[in-house]
Structure 1
Amino acid sequence: MQLSIVIPMHNEAENVSALVREIDSACAGLPDKELILVDDGSSDDTAKLIRALQDEFPWLRLVQHPRAGGQSAAVHSGVLAARGQVICTLDGDMQNPPSEIPKLVAPLLAADAPDDLGLVAGQRVKRQDTWSKKIASKLANGLRAWMLNDHTRDTGCGLKAFRRDAFLRLPFFNHMHRYLPALFARDGWQVAHVDVSHRERGGGTSKYNNLQRALVGIYDLIGVAWLIRRAKTVRPVDPAARDRDEGTAA
């Protein structure tokens, strides 16, 4: 299987059906794919509605957490369960348009994809959020970029595509999904960026506030900076890629 679309969901019953149908339409031209919805300990009917859709959409899979573990934990569980070589993530609140998925995964699924391309990160344009969220995000992104030098203006965007094998080698910790460009670069992978659209939440309520994010973000940022300073300076050579290069040279 080439592609697994992984979406963390917590109390998103109002968005499940519309999201699945929109992804099915947007990704009709992508072969060998699956959709994994990770129910992160929801207290509403999120999991029940996902199960109800599985007969209509056989490529839809459900992964469940017995209690809420957070977005990074949900993404990690989905990637572990995935069969695809390439993973695409997006948020379950409908703010990330599924129509952006083909554009995001194209660089990684291309026949001539660079061997060292690990991550394609979406960057939101014309964000449809409250002014307070946009200001808080701009300040946080500025501080993060200054400390980590990750050359990414918007790491909070849920739309990302990456190599499954590379992701599973990254150090796992809570909130790691916000630092993927820095973590992939730390391991020697190339990171590409794609501008993506953004829209208002489809239903339900936001799962965080600006103060909560700021408080945990300080500790996360210090921790990621430490991980970068302690990174290995070389990455093992893929024997298959080496043999391929030697054959081309010959």
Structure 2
Amino acid sequence: MADALISIVIPCRNEAANLPLLIDEIAAAMQGREFEIIVVDDGSSDDTPAVLAAEAGKRPFAVRHMRHASSCGQSLAVRTGAWAARGEIVATIDGDGQNDPQYIPALVDALRQAGPNYGAAQGQRLKRRDSKPKQLASRFANWLRNVILHDETRDTGCGLKAVHTQILRRLPFFDGTHRFVPALVIQEGYRVVHCDVVDRSRRHGKSNYGIFDRGLQGVLDLGGVWWLRRRRRRMPRAEEVGHG
């Protein structure tokens, strides 16, 4: 079980300058483990295709390039990666370098060790490196989400996650799913284990998301997830019972 293939999904848009070092760091963190990297290029207009072609040609592990013809958003990029994954667990990490790959093995191990009742391991950031307004907006959004959805998660916006592939594929996907993975996994009848991680500063480029755009969209998404949970009972765990 410990050497089963892990699919590391990197949703990204215009992160060509960050990807080579990020792949180096993933390779170091995952040394001795079986893994593949799936970069989901969400309609990038930079040199991402050329960078990934070069990376794929020199790595001893698979570096796969899934490309959206136009930008569809981070959540749908994760969906593309989940359906392309060959591993039993999908680990996600942002493409901007702010998430540290050293935590991927810890998340995977925490999920495996938690047992069959757990569907996901969620990273929770310490020592946030975002601007103060962004931190305050995120803190309020996390508080409001927990009050409404009771997902017992301090920080669902962290891109570091590990989810059983078959469970991740079952989640409803919309533009914003990645911020509600714990609540949606709980909706499927599973529990979530949490791991503290330390955030880093972005190395190159700038964020594709603004504070107010993300905030307004997040409120709409929160209302949608609340409605979904009200209209759909928690999914039962079912297994076949043999008779003779």
Find 2:47's aligned residue among 42, 45, 48. 45
Indicate the residue corresponding to 1:104 in structure 2: 107
Q: Figure out how many residues of one structure are paired with residues of the other and give that number.
A: 239
How far off is 1:188 after superposition?
0.7
Find 1:82's aligned residue among 85, 89, 95. 85
Find 2:72's aligned residue among 43, 63, 69. 69
Find 1:20's aligned residue among 19, 23, 32. 23
Indicate the residue corresponding to 2:209 in structure 1: 208
Indicate the residue corresponding to 2:10 in structure 1: 7
Whether the aligned pair in 1 keeps the contact of 2:137 and 2:211 (CA below 8 Å) is yes
| Amino acid in the other structure paired with 2:96 | D
Whether the aligned pair in 2 keeps the contact of 1:8 and 1:39 (CA below 8 Å) is yes
Q: C-alpha separation between the residues in 2 aligned to 1:164 and 1:231?
A: 22
Whether the aligned pair in 2 keeps the contact of 1:181 and 1:191 (CA below 8 Å) is yes
Find 1:92's aligned residue among 80, 91, 95. 95
How far off is 1:135 after superposition?
0.6
Gap regions ≥5 residues in structure 1? 244-250
Q: C-alpha separation between the residues in 2 aligned to 1:100 and 1:214?
A: 27
| Amino acid in the other structure paired with 1:103 | A
Q: C-alpha separation between the residues in 2 aligned to 1:2 and 1:117?
A: 19
User: Secondary structure, in 3 states, of the residue corresponding to 2:58?
Assistant: coil
Q: 1:140 to 1:234 in 2, by over 3 A?
A: closer
Q: C-alpha separation between the residues in 2 aligned to 1:100 and 1:224?
A: 28
Indicate the residue corresponding to 1:166 in structure 2: 167
Q: TM-score, normalised by structure 1?
A: 0.92
Whether the aligned pair in 2 keeps the contact of 1:86 and 1:108 (CA below 8 Å) is no
| Amino acid in the other structure paired with 1:231 | R
Whether the aligned pair in 2 keeps the contact of 1:85 and 1:163 (CA below 8 Å) is yes
| Amino acid in the other structure paired with 1:191 | V
How far off is 1:231 after superposition?
2.2
Aligned-residue identity in percent: 45
Q: Cα RMSD (Å) of the superposition?
A: 1.5
User: Secondary structure, in 3 states, of the residue corresponding to 2:71?
Assistant: coil
Q: C-alpha separation between the residues in 1 aligned to 2:119 and 2:77?
A: 20
How far off is 1:59 after superposition?
1.5
Whether the aligned pair in 2 keeps the contact of 1:86 and 1:109 (CA below 8 Å) is no
User: Secondary structure, in 3 states, of the residue corresponding to 1:53?
Assistant: helix
Q: Residue by residue, what CA displacement relative to the aligned partner does 1:11-30 show, whole Å, maximum 9, x if unpaired?
A: 00110110111111111122
How far off is 1:234 after superposition?
4.2
Q: C-alpha separation between the residues in 2 aligned to 1:211 and 1:233?
A: 32
Pairing 1:89-238 to 2, within 5 Å after superposition: 89-110=92-113, 113-238=114-239
Q: Residue by residue, what CA displacement relative to the aligned partner does 1:55-96 show, whole Å, maximum 9, x if unpaired?
A: 111421111111111000111001100000100001000000
Q: C-alpha separation between the residues in 1 aligned to 2:11 and 2:115?
A: 28
How far off is 1:233 after superposition?
3.9
Could you list the runs of 4 or more consecutive aligned residues of structure 1 that deviate by over 3 angstroms after TM superposition? Answer: none
Q: C-alpha separation between the residues in 1 aligned to 2:6 and 2:46?
A: 29
| Amino acid in the other structure paired with 1:37 | V
Indicate the residue corresponding to 2:35 in structure 1: 33
Gap regions ≥5 residues in structure 2? none
Q: C-alpha separation between the residues in 2 aligned to 1:238 and 1:103?
A: 30
Q: C-alpha separation between the residues in 2 aligned to 1:232 and 1:134?
A: 33
